[in-house]
Amino acid sequence: MTRGRTATSTGGEPAHSGVVILRRVPDSFHMTPDEFRRHGHAVVDWVADYMERVGELPVLAQVEPGEIRARMPDAAPEEPEPFEALIDDLDEVVLPGITHWQSPGWFAYFPANASGPSILGELVAAGLGAQGMLWATSPALTEIENQVLDWLVDLLGLPQAWKTAVGPGGGVIQMSASDSTHVVHVVARENAVARGASTDDLVAYGSSQAHSSVERGARIAGFRHVRLLEVDAAHALRPDSLQVAVTDDLAGGRVPTIVTSAIGTTATGAVDPVAQISAISREHGLWHHVDAAWAGAAMCCAEHRRHQAGTEHADSYTFNPHKWLFTNFDCNVLWVADRAPLITTLSTQPPYLRNAASESGAVIDYRDWHVPLGRRFRALKLWWVLRSYGARGLRHHIREHIALAQEIGRRVDEHPALERIAPVSFALVCFRHVAGDAETDALAAAINATATVYVTASAIEDVRFIRVSVGQTHTTRADVERLWSAIADGVGSAG
């Protein structure tokens, strides 16, 4: 389709003039399909090699601030560079600055997993380069997303009414749980304002252990009152503290608007009492949003679904396949129990986007379901993951990670210098050094200094602890043994 670039040009480029003299300009600077085939194979091989060696690299990048930038020139090149130079710089410039989230020694934060079928799905989506803002701009993007998210409703044991094929609810892929949580705060705000409330009076609720995206999403949506409520000994939201706060706010002339409950908090994996929060929400007309960003993946396994009892009365639910379901970032799912208020809040109809399909009402236009207008074909990689693993494969690996976490929990319990600060939740183990905060931080530092595994040092209610999150795609028992050696050795040096 295009001719290959030639490197012989001496085109002139005056900096500040409208007169441009181009001499011997090549016809095209584009990569041809044949070049793409050749370079693409080389890049696939580089990624496959990376998969093979990532376990041998130090998990945490070992660079100082400014070190990566210093390896780059100060300006974009004037002339095209050969593609081989770009690939070389993956090793020279990029890798030293990568913290390896795809290392099987990754036990930090939560996982942000990639997998073969997902990476290749992302490649095809980029190659197609189609836009899914409207059904009409590429029907496959919308319909495959519709269908795959309906599949997930069954996989996770969620309400049938959340399927777009059933309704009135439906699911949509967003970039992150922060985006989904922000959007439902906007919708809840608009519902309240439509009933006559002032934005300045609206109140949003979550627990003191809610993810930062809850307070942040509420503040970005303009909430002036955000209540982070008391938790019980298991770090779960206390329904009575919600009830009291709502009553106080009503008495103070404020407008209780939305509450978020968590299935699996970030700090310790605590599970809020979803059913009780749903009941309070219905009593007072609050929007009830459920944040299962990480633990939602475990709902593939029927034995964990008791933790989401009551979800059938929630107004929205968010879950990240890009955490623990082997689908590379970004791939967050938001389900709403009723899509009408979402669309009412976010819909616009500029003339350049009008089309017969939209006006027929027979299709979903996902631009009305989130803040961005454009959207890429993220459903493709999720579709490929579900098909490549099968439901059985997903359950197998989720259960394996949970069993490994339980094993770590048992060893912590048996170790005289260690104590759990919370029950093992799904695949998250939280513990500390019994000697105190300094020793706990020293232990975390010693574990991470091995560079073969990586854990998070955190704090809850001013108590320092170590978070071990099992769930990287390729983590196996051998990696957990490696982690345990680092813990056991570290206890010796820290204690």
Q: Which of residues 323-342 bind its own copies (CB under 8 A)?
A: 326, 328-330
What's the per-residue H, E or C state across 279-292? HHHHHHCCEEEEEC
Report the nearest approach of its own copies to the CB of residue 19 (Å): 8
- CB of 282: closest distance to its own copies in angstroms? 26
Query: What CA–CA distance (Å, rounded) separates 124 from 294?
Result: 26
Nearer Cβ to its own copies (280/397) = 397
Query: Does the footprint of its own copies cover residue 160 (CB under 8 A)?
Result: no
Task: Map tokens 């710089």 to a residue.
Answer: 89
446 binds its own copies (CB under 8 A): no
Query: Minimum Å distance from CB 243 to its own copies?
Result: 26
> Is residue 391 near its own copies by the rule CB under 8 A?
yes
425 near its own copies, judged by CB under 8 A: no
Per CB under 8 A, does 8 bind its own copies? no
Please tell me whether residue 447 binds its own copies under the rule CB under 8 A.
no
167 burial via Cβ count (<10 Å: 0-12, 13-18, 19+): middle
- 189 neighbors 221 (Cβ within 8 angstroms): yes
- Comparing C-alpha atoms, which of 340, 347, 314 is closest to residue 181? 314
CA 146 to CA 77: how far, in whole Å?
43
Measured from the CB atom, the residue of 446 and 488 that comes closer to its own copies is 446
* Minimum distance from residue 326 beta carbon to its own copies (Å): 8
What minimum distance in Å lies between the beta carbon of 81 and its own copies? 5
Q: Name which of 116 and 495 has its Cβ closer to its own copies.
A: 116
**Calpha distance 456→55 (Å, rounded):** 18
Residue 18: what are its φ and ψ, rounded to 5°?
-80, -15
Number of residues that bind its own copies (CB under 8 A): 176
Distance CA 133, CA 136 (A): 8
Q: How far is the CB of 323 from its own copies (least distance, A)?
A: 9
Q: Which is nearer to its own copies, 135 or 287 (CB)?
A: 135
Query: Which of 301, 473, 270 minimizes the C-alpha distance to 395?
Result: 301
Contacts 24+ apart (CB under 8 A), 50-53: 50/102, 51/102
By beta-carbon proximity to its own copies, the closer residue of 76 and 251 is 76
CA distances from 67 to 77, 230, 447 (A): 20, 43, 25
β-partners of residue 318 are 291, 334
Beta strands in 156-309 (DSSP E): 170-174, 202-207, 225-229, 255-262, 287-291
Is residue 314 helix, strand or coil? coil
Residues of span 256-285 touching its own copies by CB under 8 A: 266-267
**Residue 250 or 391 with smaller CB distance to its own copies:** 391
Asked if 87 and 43 count as a contact pair (C-beta separation under 8 A), the reply is yes
Q: Which is nearer to its own copies, 266 or 316 (CB)?
A: 266
20: contact with its own copies by CB under 8 A: yes
Residue 336 structure tokens: 């709403």
Cβ neighbours of 362 (radius 10 Å): 9
Of 126-134, 248-256, 311-319, 411-419: span binding its own copies (CB under 8 A): 126-134
By CB under 8 A, is residue 131 in contact with its own copies?
yes
- Return d(Cα 202, Cα 128) in angstroms, integer: 43
Give me the least distance between CB of 97 and its own copies, in Å please: 3
By the rule CB under 8 A, 195 interacts with its own copies: no
Closest CA to 69 of 47, 87, 96: 96
For its own copies, which is the closer residue by CB, 281 or 328?
328
Instruction: State yes or no: residue 137 binds its own copies (CB under 8 A).
Output: yes
Q: Does 451 bind its own copies (CB under 8 A)?
A: no
Window of 44-52, 233-241, 249-257, 275-283 that interacts with its own copies by CB under 8 A: 44-52
In whole angstroms, the minimum distance from the beta carbon of 410 to its own copies comes to 18
Q: 199-238 mask for its own copies (x: CB under 8 A)?
A: xx----------xxx-xxx--xxx-x--------------
CA separation for the pair 406, 426 (Å, rounded):
8
By CB under 8 A, tell whether 178 contacts its own copies: yes
d(CA 405, CA 484): 11
* Residue number, 226 or 280, with CB nearest to its own copies: 226
C-alpha span between 249 and 258 (Å, rounded): 13
Q: Does residue 440 interact with its own copies by CB under 8 A? A: no
CA angle, 43 as apex, 37 and 46 as ends, to 5°? Answer: 145
Residue with tokens 């689908």: 327
Task: Pick one of 168, 252, 285, 372: the residue that binds its own copies (CB under 8 A).
Answer: 372
User: Rounded to whole angstroms, how far apart are CA atoms 280 and 492?
Assistant: 49
What is the nearest approach in angstroms of its own copies to the Cβ of residue 325?
Answer: 12
> What minimum distance in Å lies between the beta carbon of 285 and its own copies?
20
Rule CB under 8 A: say whether 154 interacts with its own copies: yes
List binders of its own copies among 49-108 (CB under 8 A). 49-52, 55, 61, 63, 65-69, 72, 75-81, 83, 85-86, 90, 93-102, 104
For the chain, what's the residue count?
495
Nearer to its own copies, 104 or 239 (CB): 104
CB of residue 273 vs its own copies: minimum separation in angstroms? 20
